Structure 1
Amino acid sequence: MATPSKSPALQQTLGTVQLWGIAVGLVISGEYFGWSFGWASAGTLGFTVTSLFIAAMYTCFIFSFTELTTSIPHAGGPFAYSKRAFGPIGGYFAGAATLIEFVFAPPAIALAIGAYLNVQFPALDPKVAAVGAYLVFMTLNIVGVQIAATFELAVTLLAIFELLVFMGVVSPGFSLANFTKGGWSGADGFSMAAIPGMFAAIPFAIWFFLAIEGVAMAAEEAKDPKRSIPIAYIAGILTLVLLAVGVMVFAGGAGDWTKLANINDPLPQAMKLIVGENSNWLHMLVWLGLFGLIASFHGIILGYSRQIFALAREAYLPSYFAKIHPRFNTPHRAILAGGVIGIAAIFSDELIKIGGQTLTANIVTMSVFGAILMYIISMLSLFKLRRTEPNMVRPFRAPFYPILPAFALLGACVCMVTMIYFNPLVFGLFVGFLAVGLVYFLLTKGQRQAALPGVAA
């Protein structure tokens, strides 16, 4: 459905390199923290198998998702694709899932920023630092997308450089024996008993790549989305796969990897095992490591704000959030709304710290539930649109169709089933959020009909 001419519009200012910076920057914090929680259940070798499966799923997904993004460049991303394929109810579920993914990822990253700063300033409360990060980067996103994207590219390049430095510094102490010891859920040899731990580690393998699809929400602001988005996506996923494998292997081989599981700052702690606590290398890693966290945090704020904006513009959320700042041409109200929810999540220990996991682990899992549901709906949308709209202009077509999107869909379904099994309480909370949103969606049908006359609501 075309956006009505009177709807608020975003400016087309982003180039290919900036979109690549957003693609990698959205995700790169996943190389710095979050993934090591997977070692707690799967071990290093078990988690490697899980991660390779997830990397294959994401690669197939991105090659398929790019077809939708270039065919329907819309700030709503998956919301727009699913609405076109399955109507308003499909749009609701895809939009709500994406919103949960992008609103819950930032507080996890903000807590990691606080943990990194706490290494340098032990008296600084990580939660206070997390709130400070929200205030700074919401402001930067409001000031303008061109400034925000340029900043995103700069910190992404610095974050990549820092990951390479980390691998170089710990490499002299790398030992394959360290990496493989107890690598199958605590055992040295593989057995069937290791398989449940590998499945339980799926959310943390997904964290390596979570939110790369957020580039879709910058599609309306791309100068040439039909050309630049495929390049950004494909180069981005290749960059992230190589970095994920390198970081995981070098960190695990630096010493006793069990000391790195269930913590928010595995890379500084891994480096301590090699260079000691007072090395200048360690201080450099902590400071420069912040760039990786900032890149993702900043980029995901851009992503959630465009999702809120797009849903409000089509009356799925209150139109209040669809306003564009008169000076900066950014969806400032949407930026602030997501920030309020994220800050509330940071202080919701009793609500989100459930199932025996840390607050960060449960926030990560909640975000991943949203992502996986969105991936499933998006791949179903691709199949549906191929059948119902065979003549749609598709500047980029998913290669090896239907094999790649089918593998992505199958992988996402496997992830969803296993995540529900291992995280029933978080899943219940996830379903609760969807149900509350669905009630609002059903009660506001008249609002959408009034906002978009003649269009199914």
Structure 2
Amino acid sequence: MSSPTPRHPSSPASGPASLERTLGPWQLWGIAVGLVISGEYFGWSYGWASAGTLGFLVTSTLVALMYACFIFSFTELTTAIPHAGGPFAYARRAFGPAGGYLAGAATLVEFVFAPPAIAMAIGAYLNVQFPGLDARTAAVGAYVIFMTLNILGVQIAATFELFVTVIAIVELLVFMGVVAPGFSLANFTAGGWAGADSFTWGSVAGIVAAIPFAIWFFLAIEGAAMAAEEAIEPTRTIPIAYIAGILTLLVLAYGVMLFAGATGDWTKLSNINDPLPQAMKVIVGENSGWLHMLVWIGLFGLIASFHGIIMGYSRQIYAQARAGYLPRWLAQVHPRFHTPHRAILAGGVVGIAAIFSDELVSFGGQTLTANIVTMSVFGAIVLYLVSMASLFRLRRLEPALPRPFRAPLYPLLPGIAFALAALCLLTMIWFNPQIAALFAGLLVLGYLYFRLTAGQRAAAHDDTLLQAVPAAD
């Protein structure tokens, strides 16, 4: 193993396939929160079906602790190596090409499989207003509209993301205010331990089975790292965006969960894609203007995440293609709009295919949306594990690497994030063996492609990331 060649990683990519630095701290905060905020609108309530409201509260608290520790640790990597590949870039620098492959593949699974779940929720929300509208047709329409918007330019896309994110936050606060008169803690706690009124050891199984849906509250916040090459002063703006973002999401996640569960029979809100409109319907009735407002404005939360994750997956595909891990033609940047248009379209093709893949991913007694969410979470957890391992390894390999933001309480915080992520992965494999097998199969197929394309990576001379351990791997 040879020693790494030092070079400061913050220099922007050069050559024709370069991105432009135009994003400020508020836009990055909008991306960080917007990537995630759909998790406050749907997805989490599937956890109630497994754990009950009180059991899921325990699950959510453990997952929130993991994410808080992870973000404060992950920010060190993001500011030290501001690269469009995000976790792929960190693992590649720490562990060489094979490490880059594993992190990159996991990130692609997370970011490519999350949008179809959100698109289906958009279809479910629109179906409340237009019962004759097929949810899948609406989901495909959402892909077409927001892939186009992402292609038109990062400044336009990021400004739109900030706009819809702020509206989505306001709408969640409005939801809590409107249902507050019907708040009853007795409703929230009734049968709150997986259908029982008191905790038993049997409740533990439900608590751990609900982990993927608690993760959905925060899933993809790390995607803001993929805008690092388009951020102005990333070493300053990214920490602001991440820290403000995780605090925003913590408040919203607990608020939405508590107020929705306290409106009435919470069991009627589990296993559905539109828990907030249904919860509000209990308080204001089916014909209330408040309900229609929630449906229409609530779409902004789904759109914010959908639009933001398209931005995230496209930068990940672009960065991996630029480095030779994916076909080179995916690294093409639009000559007019300076956006990775081919990467945007490629991720959309996979997402739309997932929407119509009932026979492939609808198993295990769960809905199509629940299984797509679980698949995305598998990718996220592996990404978190590899990222924290990269942090530890780079601290040892490159102690002189400029670190504008250092993980506080190192090694405690990244250690907690790693341990909790490992626990999440083990329990998810136990409770979702079929999806785990499908996820593993995708990783194996990807690794075969990785092994067959060494020449493609060797020819990728214009990728600005220098590996820390180039010779051994």
Among 237, 240, 259, which residue is 1:231 paired with? 240
The equivalent position to 2:113 in structure 1, one of 92, 95, 104, is 104
Deviation (angstroms), 1:7: 6.1
- Residue 375 (structure 1) aligned with residue 398 (structure 2): no
Q: CA deviation at 1:358?
A: 0.2
Q: Does 1:218 align with 2:194?
A: no
Give the whole-Å Cα distance in 2 for the aligned partners of 1:49 and 1:339.
35
Pair 1:359-2:388 in alignment: no
Determine whether 1:339 maps to 2:348. yes
Q: Does 1:302 align with 2:322?
A: no
CA distance in 1, matches of 2:247, 2:131: 37
* Superposed counterparts of 1:301-320, under 5 Å: 301-320=310-329
Deviations 1:127-156 (A, max 9, x none): 000000000000000000000000000000
Shift of 1:339: 0.2
**Where do 1:383-422 residues align within 5 Å?**
383-422=392-431
Q: How far 1:450 moved relative to its partner?
A: 2.5
Q: Which amino acid aligns with 1:366?
A: M
TM-aligned CA deviation for residue 303 of structure 1: 0.1
2:4 alignment partner in structure 1: none
8 Å contact 1:7–1:313 — kept in the other structure?
no
SS state at 1:340 partner: helix
Q: Check the 8 A contact 2:324/2:459 in 1, yes or no.
A: no
1:274-293 CA distances to partner (integer Å, 9 max, x unpaired)? 11111110000000000000
* 1:148-167 matches, cutoff 5 A: 148-167=157-176
In structure 1, the gaps of 5 or more residues are none
Is residue 426 from structure 1 mapped to residue 435 from structure 2 by the alignment?
A: yes
2:50 corresponds in structure 1 to 41
2:76 equivalent in structure 1: 67
Name the residue aligned to 1:144. 153
Identity over aligned pairs, percent:
74
Secondary structure (helix, strand or coil) at the match of 1:316 reads coil
Task: Give, in whole Å, the separation in 2 of the partners of 1:428 and 1:356.
Answer: 16
1:109-124 pair list within 5 angstroms = 109-124=118-133
SS at match of 1:100: helix
For 1:224 and 1:128, locate their aligned partners in 2 and report how far apart those are by CA, in whole Å: 41
Cα deviation for residue 446 of structure 1 reads 1.4
Match of 1:135 in 2: 144
Distance 1:89 1:152 in 2: 34
CA contact (8 A) 2:13 2:19 kept: no
Partner of 1:27: 36
Q: Distance in 2 between matches of 1:294 and 1:224?
A: 27
Measure the CA separation in 2 of the matches of 1:427 and 1:311: 24
Partner of 1:451, secondary structure, is coil
Which whole-Å CA distance do the structure 1 matches of 2:298 and 2:435 have between them?
29
2:20 maps to 1:11:
yes
Query: In 2, distance between residues paired with 1:4 and 1:231?
Result: 23
How much does 1:6 deviate?
3.4
**Residue of structure 1 aligned with 2:87, choices 71, 78, 81:** 78
Conserved? CA contact 2:269–2:279, under 8 Å: yes
Gaps of 5+ in 2: 1-6
- Say whether 1:199 aligns with 2:215: no
How many pairs align? 457
AA matched with 1:28: I
Amino acid at match of 1:249: L
TM-score, structure 2 normalization: 0.95
Q: Which residue of 2 aligns with 1:58?
A: 67
Q: Distance in 2 between matches of 1:146 and 1:450?
A: 31
Partner residue in 1 for 2:452: 443
Name the Cα RMSD after superposition: 1.2
Indicate conservation of the 8 Å contact 1:75/1:307, yes or no: yes
Tell me, in whole angstroms, the C-alpha distance in 2 between the residues paired with 1:5 and 1:136.
30
8 A contact 2:179–2:259 mirrored in 1: yes
Taking the aligned partners of 2:459 and 2:249, their CA distance within structure 1 comes to 44
Q: Does the 8 Å contact 1:18/1:149 carry over to 2?
A: yes
* Alignment partner, residue 294 of structure 2: 285
Q: Distance in 2 between matches of 1:64 and 1:373?
A: 16
Structure 1 residue 447: deviation in Å? 1.5
Quote how far apart the aligned CAs of 1:75 are. 0.2
